[in-house]
């Protein structure tokens, strides 16, 4: 068992479909999109392996109460930023450095290019590595990888799918909301 101890998780509904949230004693450790049963089982297996603890389903968890409340408020149009305790143990090195910069330096309603984000962490020219960091983000939405776009104005990739990325950017006012 690792230092984080018990991992508690729950699936919550959202405007972009069911999200699996997992937390340790340190903070929110994982957000997983499209948490259907097969996705959930894979995610829980990864948590089990990577954290060395058996994830326990606990929708009433005190550890999850604030993340659940904050995400519900976000999808309702506020808060503009997340101030949750985060457990960064599922990422390390360059990826962690990039994700921490993203979490603190790219506010609600703004976007940043992959190359610009690379430059901010002292690695200009590492735009592709930033893309890899975004793809490995264990805390999407909360650590807003949906705000990272291509320099030519393209959306870039997104682990939750481009429709989900568009929905999140529309929620934040970056893109127009779809008419239907």
The set of catalytic residues is 145
Residues 123 and 168: their CA atoms lie apart, in Å, by 27
49-86 burial code (b ≥16 CB/10 A, e <16) = eebebebeeeeebebbebbbebbeebbeeeeeebebeb
SS3 136: coil
Q: How far apart are CA 24 and CA 32, in angstroms?
A: 15
Q: What is the CA radius of gyration of the chain?
A: 16
Cβ-based neighbour number of residue 180 at 10 Å: 2
Structure tokens belonging to residue 175:
């893109």
């Amino acid at each position: 068992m690792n230092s984080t101890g018990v991992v508690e998780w729950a699936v919550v509904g959202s405007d972009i479909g069911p999200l699996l949230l997992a937390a340790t004693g340190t903070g929110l450790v994982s957000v997983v999109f499209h948490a259907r049963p097969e996705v959930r089982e894979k995610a829980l297996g990864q948590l089990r392996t990577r954290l060395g603890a058996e994830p326990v389903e606990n929708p009433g968890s005190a550890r999850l109460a604030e993340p659940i409340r904050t995400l519900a408020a976000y999808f309702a149009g506020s808060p503009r930023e997340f101030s949750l305790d985060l457990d960064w143990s599922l990422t390390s090195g360059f990826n962690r450095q990039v994700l921490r910069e993203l979490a603190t330096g790219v506010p609600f309603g703004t976007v940043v290019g992959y190359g610009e984000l690379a430059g901010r962490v002292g690695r200009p020219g590492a735009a592709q590595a930033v893309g890899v960091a975004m793809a490995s983000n264990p805390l999407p939405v909360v650590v807003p990888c949906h705000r990272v776009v291509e320099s030519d104005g393209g959306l870039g990739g997104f682990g939750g799918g481009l429709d989900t990325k568009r929905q999140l950017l529309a929620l934040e006012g970056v893109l127009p909301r779809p008419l239907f």
